[in-house]
Structure 1
Amino acid sequence: MGIRAATEADWPAIWPFWRDIVEAGETYAYPLGATSDQARGWWFDGSRVTVLEEDGSVLGSAKMGPNRPGRGAHVGTASFMVAATARGRGVGRRLAEDMVAWHREQGFAGIQFNAVVETNTGAVRLWQDLGFTIVGTVPGAFESTRHGRVGLHVMYLDLG
């Protein structure tokens, strides 16, 4: 498995799992029913985008960059999508470790996740394993398909 910079040519491989994850309504607040063009615009929004591939197949993707512009640009953020067929194989962890290393190399002071769905226990556990802490939870801020309104964690990793 290797991680590399993504290009627009990777979008046809990313789109099916991006769409499936968003439409499941459990982990991302992107609008339901997005078109491929809309989703591509959100994913390739000027951030660094990576893919993890194995034998020519894209198994997951991450996007990362400053959390806020201007005076907040010293803190990074990121988002991740892993194909259902690749879950449980360490794809998310590999993408996350690459993301943390990239933020360090770029001189970011920390990484902030603004909206980790509290019922996404696998992601919460991964982030905590990598040193992130929950700095707060916004109650009922996410409408989960299965659980109704659940909290969104704000998570932070100090890179100082």
Structure 2
Amino acid sequence: MQIRPAADADRSAVLAIVAPILAAGETYATPRDWTDDQVLAYWFDPAYDVYVAEVDGRILGTYYLMANRLGGGAHIANCGYMTAPDAQGKGVARAMCSHSLVRAAGRGFRAMQFNHVVSSNTRAVALWQSLGFAIVGTLPAAFKHPVHGYVDSYVMFKTF
């Protein structure tokens, strides 16, 4: 698997991964009815470094890396990750998170924080914990899941 910075030519492959996940409304606190242009504007925000994970030229996942906050919080990184449905459970998210931790440290970040990990996304919670992230806060009923109703979200943190 190769993880590399996303190029303009990758936008349609990234959209094919990101748009259905956002539309499902199960893991990201974003509108479910965004147009393709809105999805791309969100994922390719100018403040983000966007990467893709590919095997044999096929993009299997994507992530963005950014500062979690500005000013006094700019030393903490934040990321968002998405894996193509048929590539889930094959180590793509683990590889992307590991890559992002190295990239973040290389950019001078001192830690990484995930602000809104939906508690019902148990695979992601377990993965982040296996990579050294701790749940440092629980936001009660902070996410309205389309199937499970109001569920908790976690703030997860890892120091480098």
TM-score where L is the length of structure 2: 0.97
Give the Cα separation in 2 of the matches to 1:65 and 1:20.
23
Q: Deviations over 1:5-41 (max 9, x none)?
A: 0022211001122111111121011111111111111
Say whether 1:14 aligns with 2:14.
Answer: yes
Give the Cα separation in 2 of the matches to 1:35 and 1:24.
14
Q: Deviations over 1:83-113 (max 9, x none)?
A: 0010011000000000011111112111010
Counterpart code for 1:132: F
> For this pair of structures, how many residues does the alignment match?
159
Choose 79-88 or 103-112, whichever is displaced more: 103-112
Match of 2:155 in 1: 154
Over 2 Å off, 4+ runs: none
Match of 1:88 in 2: 89
- Once superposed, what is the RMSD of the aligned Cα atoms? 0.8
Match of 2:67 in 1: 66
TM-score where L is the length of structure 1: 0.97
Stretches of structure 1 that go unaligned for 5 or more consecutive residues are: none
Match of 2:135 in 1: 134
Match of 1:50 in 2: 51
Alignment of 1:25-44 (within 5 A): 25-44=25-44
Say whether 1:143 aligns with 2:132.
Answer: no
Give the Cα separation in 2 of the matches to 1:108 and 1:54.
28
Counterpart code for 1:10: D
**CA shift at 1:154, angstroms?**
0.3
Choose 150-159 or 6-15, whichever is displaced more: 6-15
Counterpart code for 2:90: R
Stretches of structure 2 that go unaligned for 5 or more consecutive residues are: none
Identity of aligned residues (%): 44
Match of 2:113 in 1: 112
